[in-house]
Amino acid sequence: MSNIVEWYKDFMIKTQDPRTEGWFLVSGPGPTLMIIMTYVYFSVSAGPRYMKDKKPYDLKNTLIIYNFIQVLLSIYLFHEGLMGGWLYEYSFVCQSDGYTSKPNSPRMARVVYAYFICKLTELLDTVFFVMRKKDRQISFLHVYHHSLMPMCAWIGTKFFPGGHATLLGIINSFVHIFMYTYYMLAAFGPHMQKYLWWKKYLTIMQIVQFMIIFTHNFQLMFVTCNFPRPLSFLLVVNSALFIYMFSSFYIKTYMKSSKQRKSKANGSSIMSATDATDAITADAIDSKDHDKYD
């Protein structure tokens, strides 16, 4: 056991990137893992049990402010990531992680750290679902995605705050600009629904995002690059899983549901006044239910 502890300490010290050494929550994985485990426990067990006999909280103003802040943070991350390397200096074919001597290197390290902190704040998405009793939106995809991203971001901040893998954060931040804009507008109420016709395209953007990340890292399996191949392989596997899950979500939510609505419409030539009223009421309820699927 003592040998394992010594190996762990030696590994953490020798492989730590000097740019982020000593930064808050970066020294070891313990605090981040505790946050993630607490998040999962609250999301799937403690939170729903606590809210079982309570009325949903009205968090309209909180959601508007929270999503607005997330939009600003996403714009900042996207801009800084481009200016920190990807717009002018980084190579899309192979970008070494040995970049500490470059002028923009500290800037990119700060961006990676800010991205890590943002992944932690985004856990509030699920907390708000629980407090509003939107339990059906707490899917496996949702919890898995929100649990995995902080740990991936911590690894990047601790060991690789620069280089090839940082493109993931740039693309993800770009998608989040639109995603949190949608959530912010939806939080204003049902009267905004007519302006949110582009909801399904957010899922398409997510799928395209992971396809780009998959391709960007998969190419390193075949080229010589001073960037850890095992890390690129893990990103490839993770991207493939997300492509599958988001694609399944899209098919189930938008393609199958659309076919079912058409089938019902064709099978019902006459609708009574009562049925029509029920359908309108159901649509009105559904319009108030703004899903979050990231």
CB within 8 Å of 112: residues ≥ 6 apart: 20, 153, 156, 157, 160, 161, 162, 166, 169
Residue 73 domain-assigned? Answer: yes
Assess whether 38 and 123 both reside in one domain. yes
Assess whether 82 and 122 both reside in one domain. yes
CA dihedral over 135, 141, 142, 148, signed as positive or negative: positive
Residue 165 domain-assigned? Answer: yes
Residue 282 domain-assigned? Answer: no
Backbone φ/ψ region at 65: left (φ over 0), alpha (ψ -120 to 50), beta: alpha
Catalytic residue IDs: 145
In this predicted structure, the answer to whether residue 279 has a pLDDT above a threshold of 90 is no
Stretch 155-183: mean pLDDT: 94
Identify which of 201, 106, 123, 112 has the alpha carbon closest to the alpha carbon of residue 154: 112
Confidence of residue 180 (pLDDT cuts 50, 70, 90): very high
Structural domain boundaries, residue 119: 29-91+99-173
Assess whether 169 and 201 both reside in one domain. no
pTM of the predicted model over 0.85: no
Q: What is the pLDDT of residues 212-269, one digit of tens each?
A: 999 999 999 998 888 888 889 999 999 999 999 899 989 988 887 666 656 555 554 4
Highest mean pLDDT among 1-15, 66-80, 244-258: 66-80
In this predicted structure, the answer to whether residue 274 has a pLDDT above a threshold of 50 is no
